[in-house]
Structure 1
Amino acid sequence: MDKLTPFKPLSTIIAITITLIIWFIIPTPDGVEVNAWQLFALFIGTIIAIIGKALPISAISIIAITLIAITGVTNPNNPTEAINDALSGFSNQLIWLIGISIMISVSLNIAKRLNFDDIIYMSYSINFRRKVIFTMEEERLSIRETAKQFRIGSASVSRWINQIERKASTTRQRKIDKSELIKDVEQYPDAYQKERAERFGVCQKAIWQALKKWD
């Protein structure tokens, strides 16, 4: 069953109850044929089930079509024609157009949940990802600014940073002495963080965090 639309017993009971009330209890209005009134009962019950989200709309549609075919409300004296009437909607091009539109919208929603941005950009090499993170650290850009500069998604930048942090956490880093770092900055003011990291025996991320912390 569709996880987005779980089975709802209360909505189902209400839809069935109202359908049965219209079908069996409420008298057929004057000038209205019995089978037309019964079809109206099924129609109202289907609408209530959809509004109440008793089941996924696809399941409700199948149940409604099946009931129309079984009860023969569209053609009481000819079961075969009743089944044909129930299935006749599938020959309508508009119905297929609506169905295709729904499938496309669902597919786009799934892509969004899976982070479509990463699906597009996952072919980028490790060197490119390192370049993105290096530029972000060197120019002290925010995640959004970095994403805009490289025309990629912010989610990708965040994920790449987390990957680097996880790798860094598994490697024992030497503690950076504040006075030594200040002295290094004064002595080499134009040095890249990569060069400082090599001198201190740590990763670039550690240098960037230390400088950011002591600003």
Structure 2
Amino acid sequence: MHDKIDSPLQTSIWETAVGLRSFYKSKGFKEIRRTYMPVISVKTIIPYITANDERFVVKSMGELVKNRLLFNKLITLVKRNYEHTHLDNPVAEMEDNSWGKMITADDVILDGSFIGLDPVEKNILAYSFLHTSEKKDTAEIGWAGVHSPEANTLLRSLVFQQIKYAEKQNVQFIEGEFDTTDECAMSLLKVIPVSPCPAWITYRKE
């Protein structure tokens, strides 16, 4: 006889599935997250890009991994932010070495992933990773985050630099996933000119 597994039920549907949304709500499911996945036209967004914020130092992931101290700080910050934005779906416990391998996986574009540091290059303030895609002429914005909300403007600057990098690599489109549980992601979505798109809604029933 199997022990009873006490775990919540969770499902996700498109925002446009009105009938299913009503059904799940009637059964006691609660919305815990919305994920927006816009497709950004590089050519369209280039005119909106502003000058880089020269108050900070920007390094590519390829450069940063050569500095073990800074790379360890990046691992700590990425882990902290990821855990904070996934409180409803806690991440499994992993060693820092495993986190390091995740953020330098084969699909990460090291020269197109940028990290913003303070002027003396001792603390990491923001980061945004760029990934390859299975789609032709497309790249993906991956993990992005900040040390504190004051660095949100720096994060936007990093993303704009990624878009300029993508243009030089003849990338036509950039895709991203922006969760409502992630304040940084929502901040980015407000300043990046994208066409409206339906949300992928995640429901949960305890």
Category of TM-score, reference length = shorter chain: under 0.3
Looking at CA atoms only, which structure, 1 or 2, has the larger radius of gyration? 1
- TM-score normalised per structure 2: 0.22
* Higher RCO structure, 1 or 2 (CA under 8 Å, sep 6+): 2
Question: Greater share of strand residues, 1 or 2?
Answer: 2
Question: Greater share of helix residues, 1 or 2?
Answer: 1
